[in-house]
Amino acid sequence: MSAGAIGSGRSTYAILGCGSVGHAVAEALTTDGNEVLILDKDESRVEALRDQDLDARVQDIRDPTVGEVVADRDIILVLASDIDASKEAVSAIRNRDDGQYIVVRASDPVTEEELRNLGADVVVNPSTVIAESALRSLESGELQYKARQLAELLGEVDGRLAILTQDSPDPDSIASATALQAIAAAFDVESDILYDGDIGHQENRAFVNLLGIELLAREEAATLAEYDAVALVDNMKTDDREIGFEIDIFIDHYEPDNELDAEFIDVRTNVSSTSTILTKYLQEFDLSPSEAVATALLYGIRAETLDFKRDTTPADLTAAAYLHPFANHDTLEQVESPSMSPETLDVLAEAIQNREVQGSHLFSSAGFIRDRDALEQAAQYLLDLEGITTTAVFGIVENEIIVAARSKDIRINIGSVLEGAFAEMGEVLGHSKQGTVGVPLGIFTGLESSGDNRDRLLELTEEAVRRKLFAALGVESGEPTNGA
């Protein structure tokens, strides 16, 4: 960096080749108070630039002396349309080895590579930039269009809106429903968030309780026919069964397995959470989220992306950055670090001790237990073991066999796996990453769960569940091992 730049606290620039692009860049940099030198071989163009009070000089950038002319500049922008001239300019500057930062214009992928090999730090292909800008504009325009559609639909709702989450909803589904509820309220539409299954995981219960999110179990709510409109948010991971009722609003980051007939549909597979989509709608409607909604959405994004370590997109990051100042981070910390009950700790210890691993799949038994939610937490914790992508933990709760499963393998929809293995035996709830099965213990009617029969009952049910599960996963169940 030049001495002048160090003293002023600003970088100094040189623009080589000043067509329309170079002219626009020069004006922007100069307006911001930067020192800019423009070199161009066209005398009339240089005169025109000087008439605009720009520092311009006549210089053929092919000339090897161009490196000396710009030796006192920190950042060199080579923006000539003549790519061969740009190559010679980059070579001349790099031959001096002054350590300047060089940005150069290319015309195609081949010249991009050639210019990088000559020493350019950044190579810009105008056609790529234009395409990316067009796509951003298209995405922005599509969001505006979708927002108008959603606003019109909500404006026509003359009654309550039912917002359905996925079965046994995860944080992304709960947060998305909460955000849609807030948007509906802005249009004077009252709504209920409904769910099937249960809020099983300890973190999810803490999430709902700490943020005061009101959820209604489907069996406790009015029938869907009593609502004026029905919305599904982050629902498609549940499974591939038919919806079975009319839908007005559908928002998800997964494509539906079956074609949907809804008045409003917004599916964005290019983001990693539905919370990201709903955040964009809050911004488009110019609605500042409440602390609870912002905290829910931020947690939804973080949970779905494993704290930005899995499949995170720029849209997820910008949504999280927008939500960050509105969220309550003390609450987030409480949600992410809930206390573990003694029962859960016992179940986890039993599941660790009894684990059987086949490839990257882990199966374990926790025996007779009192808290079915502890099985889900054990399945989640075991998923963190090295080399494990899918877990299933089995237990007997009162008169029911319970299997809790988790998967981070993108090739597996664990909800569908459980459906295929156990649908004929009991109730299955789940989606691509998690699921639970409840099978009546009555299928083993020949045994009582007491005395010596208790151990025999556990052995028989565990073996039956293991065999069916591994068969559904396409792996063979060998002798139990407890090494992961």
pLDDT tens, 268-325? 988 999 999 999 999 999 999 999 999 999 999 998 887 887 778 889 999 999 999 9
Looking at beta carbons, which pairs linking 80-87 to residues 24 or more positions away fall under 8 Å? 80/16, 80/17, 80/19, 80/22, 80/105, 81/17, 81/19, 81/105, 82/17, 83/107, 83/111, 85/17, 85/60, 85/61, 86/16, 86/17, 86/61, 86/115, 87/114, 87/115, 87/118
Residues 299 and 159 in one domain: yes
**Phi, psi angles (nearest 5°) of residue 395:** -160, 165
pLDDT at 153: 95
> Is 27 part of a structural domain of the chain?
yes
* Structural domain count of the chain: 3
Which of 319, 336, 353 represents a domain boundary (last residue)? 336
Tell me, what CATH number does 109's domain have? Answer: 3.40.50.720
pLDDT at 444: 61
Let me know if 280 is exposed, middle or buried by CB neighbors in 10 A (0-12, 13-18, 19+): buried
Residues 288 and 167 in one domain: yes
pLDDT tens, 106-147? 988 888 899 999 999 999 887 777 777 777 767 777 888 999
Which of 66, 97, 124 represents a domain boundary (last residue)? 124
pLDDT at 244: 60
Residues 64 and 167 in one domain: no
pLDDT at 435: 83
pLDDT at 69: 94
Which of 124, 144, 165 represents a domain boundary (last residue)? 124
Residues 368 and 288 in one domain: no
* Angstrom distance (rounded) from CA 359 to CA 484: 9
pTM of the model: 0.62
| Residue range of the domain that includes 36 | 3-124
Report, as ranges of residue numbers, the positions in the chain whose pLDDT lies below 50: 1-8, 238-242, 479-484
